[in-house]
Structure 1
């Protein structure tokens, strides 16, 4: 036993060393811009514009990404300024055009009369823009020249504001180019030997974690016995938990909006990406790789912890399998086979981009396999959800298949007790999660309207703006930054409980048309509170157990931990006929209100 405890402590030390190595990669990058790489990324047309401003940083070696990224973005900004000054239309032209108009009605011929025949690319572009932007004004009457001049000045302002997006680098374009160039310019130790750093930064933490976990088979009891969980600095919002939460939040912020600063981590997994898909790694491959490893390693912890419960062990193996195979390996192999990338277990509305135009076009153009993917995706949420949820409750997906649920059940398991069980939290939960579902439905309807009609305007709103707002607010901030980053602060199912639109959809079916319920034996309940404490969905399970009532809450994901931690066998997960799910009597001890003995 003593030797096992030593291995346990050594494992923790090894993990800390390995994780520290992983963090250090953030600062180990070295960067050197190569002219040929820049030309390849920018293309023949754009490269000459940037080349003249990049001459000062060619072959200059940077020891950190912050300075390199700052200098490269400055180059792109200088290029933008040159483009703007080159193509900008002077506001004085508005008065010249207005005074050349004959009569009160505006004629576009006045533009060509004023400018004359364009003799260069700049003049041609300016002329075309003026024609395009004033098409709606043709034949419109203006009372005075000043009124027409003012209108033309507004048009010129709009054209000048569009110069960067049309001829230069938009902010989104700057971010994308910066990420690509930063990754290709990495010349540090990680780029020189990625396999070594993969072993040091990923392999060693895994070895340490397993050494830390395996001795628990002999040194710790199975299950949860209220053993000081609320006195842990890691598991009860202590300083370690705060540090971990800060790291997770920061990780997601960089992942979504500043991936260029994570290039060392991404370069490290390049060999793996090329093995699976044949392509260099992106930030999303790196994220998927780390996400999968987290579920696999922490899944081992889950199996060891709940080894007294066959249900928990099989359920954990299930989420580990679906994440590794369906969410990570198979999609990458599909790409290698020149097929659309698809996580075959993910579905709308959780997969909110499923009906985006580029996804639909990609699947349709892929032929038979692409059409199968389209049909499979539609069948999952139209047929799979109602049928399987009727038979097994939402647990079939949320606790056995879903990647979000898989991460919550494994990496997030130490924080399940932090979920708020108050009525106030329940009210917020219902408003938020159903609000997100409505938002997802409206956004998808708008996207499909644009796909079939070609019009981006629906009821006065731009459909592309609607989907951008959803992607930023729900797809990034809510599901990522808050959904995972807040594990150490609000529990492991923040996203599933408050934001997941698919969980809301599944919950509707489970609540009103399902065979699933958690039955309770109120006469056996001793009110220990284990069930409520460890309910990750914020359900006060004890309240139901004391009254002998079935638990059929729409939010329940059927994880079964409440049953696994109950010392009296009060709770039981069942799939039975629908009769008796509702209107159960309230019980105190062995007595039933309103029922004669």
Structure 2
């Protein structure tokens, strides 16, 4: 008789969890009403009600789901749920996120009369908040920044409950929440409030590629001392602080502690981290894409400066056209539409892994000039695969752990989840001396495994 295998039934949610999910659903309904209601007063009411219900419901659900259970990383049923295992809910979520980015980037610009297209009601619903923070009406980018920051804060709260047993994860999550709220939302808003250039102190070239373009540098320098400081800050952080900090701490100081892209991936993208492709083919595509993108933006920046120095007599508008196409293809389509829209299908670090030029820059420094590594104690590894499952960058951590080899990969963002998820304490994030950095565990290594097998 041929044995049959059936999928075990998923555990049901408690009544309290269902209630909190109903609150979240009510918030989403209120958001739709805010989009559809023609009355400005009701638009604002529906919008703030939606944000409150979604935020409160999500935090309450997180407390019930994680805070009321024993601390520790739980992988139960991740691949069986329709929301986290590329099921129907995941595809619908991906379509909604992708559609939002398409509308945001290309169909929500101001038409000159204060109309922002399909997002008009939501944008004007935040006018009061925008006036308070920036002393000007809201636009589509303020709406996006508000949603983005709220997503990191709310889902960061979820992460704090989920990983409360790990001091490293608590501090790291708190760090990305702090930098997003302070450096990428409040400070840029206050700068506009005081009639200063909007500037994001947590983003640097080549990620924020236009910050070192001649036009941006010239414009900032014309705004007096603060503008000059902004130019100085951007240049120092890109070319001095980044190599120094990466030498001591690896790329994690930025990708997992400061960057807003990484902050969203580590919080809102946490339910999808297991979806990253661990295959060698994916690694080949990673190398084929991310380093050419870094080379392209470097070439564009150099071209613009050469052309600027020669009063545009060398290639005319070629550099500006190239910069615009880069902004469209990489800055919008890759980082936004694909990078975030495909979270539920491809995992939370698609942009960081395949497209981010800052990640490529940091990765080269980390692999060849850094003290950072993840050491492994191969003798303790039980090959459970938890480490590989939680790696959002697609690194098959288990293979390194089995062989007792240190993990020194350009793509590793140092999130530490592999170490947090390991039940045996095999993995350890270290900033040790460069001497012997590639030396494996003395307890077990690749040759021993071949003999034993």
Is the TM value for this pair above 0.5?
Answer: yes
Do residues 285 (structure 1) and 142 (structure 2) align?
A: yes
Equivalent position of 1:572 in the other structure: 428
After TM superposition, give the deviation of residue 272 of structure 1 in Å.
0.9
Question: Structure 2 matches for 1:232-251, cutoff 5 A?
Answer: 232-251=81-100
Equivalent position of 1:356 in the other structure: 213
Structure 1 length-normalised TM: 0.70
Equivalent position of 1:434 in the other structure: 291
CA-to-aligned-CA distance 1:164-216 (integer Å, 9 cap, x gap): xxxxxxxxxxxxxxxxxxxxxxxx22x23454223222112112112211223
Equivalent position of 1:425 in the other structure: 282
Larger Rg: 1
Aligned residues: 431
2:33 and 2:43 in contact (8 A); partners too? no
Equivalent position of 2:72 in the other structure: 223
Task: Specify whether residues 221 and 361 from structure 1 end up closer, same or farther in structure 2 by C-alpha distance, changes over 3 A only.
Answer: same
Distance 1:217 1:479 in 2: 31
CA-to-aligned-CA distance 1:67-115 (integer Å, 9 cap, x gap): xxxxxxxxxxxxxxxxxxxxxxxxxxxxxxxxxxxxxxxxxxxxxxxxx
1:5 and 1:219 in contact (8 A); partners too? no
2:390 to 530, 534, 539: 534
1:258 to 104, 107, 124: 107
Question: Structure 2 matches for 1:206-221, cutoff 5 A?
Answer: 206-221=55-70
2:184 to 310, 317, 327: 327
Equivalent position of 2:412 in the other structure: 556
Question: Structure 2 matches for 1:109-120, cutoff 5 A?
Answer: none
1:586 and 1:593 in contact (8 A); partners too? no
Distance 1:590 1:336 in 2: 60
After TM superposition, give the deviation of residue 253 of structure 1 in Å.
0.3
CA-to-aligned-CA distance 1:5-63 (integer Å, 9 cap, x gap): 433221110111101221343333xxxxxxxxxxxxxxxxxxxxxxxxxxxxxxxxxxx
CA-to-aligned-CA distance 1:127-151 (integer Å, 9 cap, x gap): xxxxxxxxxxxxxxxxxxxxxxxxx
Equivalent position of 1:475 in the other structure: 331
Task: Specify whether residues 544 and 385 from structure 1 end up closer, same or farther in structure 2 by C-alpha distance, changes over 3 A only.
Answer: same
Listed as ranges, the gaps of 5+ residues in structure 1 are 29-187
Mean CA deviation greater in 378-387 or 15-24: 15-24
2:130 and 2:142 in contact (8 A); partners too? yes
Equivalent position of 1:485 in the other structure: 341
Listed as ranges, the gaps of 5+ residues in structure 2 are 1-12, 109-116
Task: Specify whether residues 567 and 356 from structure 1 end up closer, same or farther in structure 2 by C-alpha distance, changes over 3 A only.
Answer: same
2:339 and 2:349 in contact (8 A); partners too? yes
Question: Structure 2 matches for 1:353-392, cutoff 5 A?
Answer: 353-392=210-249
The Cα RMSD (Å) is: 2.0
After TM superposition, give the deviation of residue 558 of structure 1 in Å.
0.2
After TM superposition, give the deviation of residue 529 of structure 1 in Å.
0.4
Task: Specify whether residues 339 and 426 from structure 1 end up closer, same or farther in structure 2 by C-alpha distance, changes over 3 A only.
Answer: same
After TM superposition, give the deviation of residue 456 of structure 1 in Å.
6.5
CA-to-aligned-CA distance 1:311-347 (integer Å, 9 cap, x gap): 0011000000000000000001001111111111110
1:340 and 1:362 in contact (8 A); partners too? no
Distance 1:586 1:371 in 2: 53
After TM superposition, give the deviation of residue 578 of structure 1 in Å.
0.7
Distance 2:445 2:423 in 1: 17
After TM superposition, give the deviation of residue 218 of structure 1 in Å.
4.3
Structure 2 length-normalised TM: 0.91
